[in-house]
Structure 1
Amino acid sequence: MKLSTKCLLTTFGTAAAVGMAYAVQRKANQRKQRFDHDTGFELKEYRMINGIQQYLVHRTENDENPVLLVLHGGPGESAMPTRYLYQREWEKYFTVVNWDQRLCGKTLQINADQKEELASSLTLDQLIEDTREICDVLRAQYHQDKIFILGHSWGSVLGTMFIRKYPDRVKAYVGVGQVVSMRRNEETGYQKVLQKARIAGADHDVQRLLALTPYPQTQFDQEMMDKMMVVRRMQRKYHLAAPISLKALWQMLAAPDVNPGEFSVYFNLDFKLQLPLLQELTGFDLEALDRHYEVPVYYLLGDQDWQTPYPIAQEYFAGIEAPRKQLILIPNAGHNTMIDQPEFFLNALRAVLLA
């Protein structure tokens, strides 16, 4: 009984200490996000976009700064819990707008009663039209004829296809973790992690990876999703993909504007809702399209990114035609390039967009 009581008190004490550390860290993060002067501006809002309410967050030190619309990855993985890790300095130079895409984050939450219906009709074209409406809202709101678009990972698919269809609305495009071919990405990333496992002499990992063949599959279904999750776990183990570590989890939980009551919104991801879109994206391949772009195109790539393998994007980029183009390889950065090297990334972003 005494031992049980002692264990119980230890457990309560540990929980209290963690809870206090969390509260202190979150308050500190909130202080860092405050604006120091009267021109600082933050707006959190729902907008009726393409038939449903969608969630946007605008932040800037001066609302006359050029607008930068950020298209998050996934699909289905909001940037809201992590943007504070790198974005605060961006807001000195840009009006940064983050958007929870349909079936993601707070946009999913407010439309939860129709999520199955929305999932069944989810397409790339639909998301392109969502982007167009948001782009037009921002152009009107900030009195800017054109805005910047930044696409990360899956967001680079959406961003690239958007600027190809609606170049008249875009000042320039920045691709981060740029996807060129979904199939080549998976083939190359799989071979790289298999090579790493063999070099490490990790026979168990090698056999587990070989058991996934054929990889990738021609069709994207639940089996392929399960295989992809195994590959991602292996890639993280060998430092080839964005990590899911205790540090990363703590950083997300302590996000300054994600309340504890919203954890399920951002951390209980249901990729089954994205399955129709993922099936469509299986055949996505920019190499099958012409390489002419009507807007400036910039790639900021992590030189350790094998989740969206940077050599594929480098090879493709060399052949594109655009009014201006530049590729910057960011050292010691992986798939979450702006988190891994925030200062280097911002300097590169300013160099290409504000020079």
Structure 2
Amino acid sequence: MRPSSLRRSCAALAAVTSLALTVTACGGTTKNDVKDAASAATSAQKADPKAELKKGLTVGFLPKQVNNPYFTSADRGGAKALAELGETYKEVGPSSATDTSGQVSYVNTLTQQQVDAIAVSAQDPGALCTALKQAMRNGIKIVTYDSDTKPDCRDAFVSQAAAEDLGRTQVQLLAQQIGYQGEIAVLSAAQTATNQNTWIGFMKDELKDPKYKNIKLVKVAYGNDDAQQSFQQTQGLLQEYPDLKGIVSPTTVGIKAAAQYLSGSKYRGKVRLTGLGTPNDLRTYIKNGTIDAFELWDPAKLGDLAARTAVALSSGQITGRQGETFTAGGTEYTLGKDGVINLGRPTVFDAENIDQFDF
């Protein structure tokens, strides 16, 4: 048995003993005993911000899609942080951004491998819950990053930025570009993507402001974070709404595909495009006038913070409760409601600053 597994087993047994249950050996426990022990240990746990970071931990990263450039950048950030902290990095994941069942099986695999923590970007808010709760019962710390699951299915969520800021600022960018007038559409990822739906909700709320009275959201289309589907959805939007003035795409795959279509069409410079993208993907389209400005956080920093959060949880510096603080990479972070940790405000990229970034 690995040392970390032994510690988890003994901690669970100690929690049961302290509650005066009649378990006398690990071999005599039932599934309910193990569940009760894990629950008791979690409820009794207190954060110790001065605790030393443990060494030799294994943190498994599970992105939505392993061959997605965005997640490649994010997970490299996580790998670098873990190497710096003396931990082991492991990555698994599906090749499709809509393979929810695949994500479940990968969680189960990481649980069986007895990793110390899992950092996962959830494809669906509820589909992973059963598997994640099983991992938690086995003493594994769960951090979601980029896209959250339900709060009771993880210990903490590392958010790219405040969801409200991301939703509202994308509308604000597009509104400025189209002069606050005309029809607009949203090109999203999967219809079940937690982060996408949250941002779109704030977009719709932002559009209720009287200053947007002459802007009409005509459709939310879904490209499933697939380049070809997103390209086709962009083409379909312009065929269905020939007077469309702008598209906002809160997904790196979607905005790049939309830019590719617009750049080679009669709509370049006429239909404005903004959303969330990476400088390396969109540099060409900024310079040829397809895109005026877009925004994003640094995904490598997101992966870095997810990794450091996982280690802080595994070391007992934080437990996931609101108000707890910890230092990661020289910056102090405070956990908000439901254990949410915000990376910071997004960066706006345009022709003046895009060459300063390389990701």
TM-score (norm 2): 0.32
Which one has a bigger Cα radius of gyration? 2
TM-score normalized with structure 1 length:
0.32
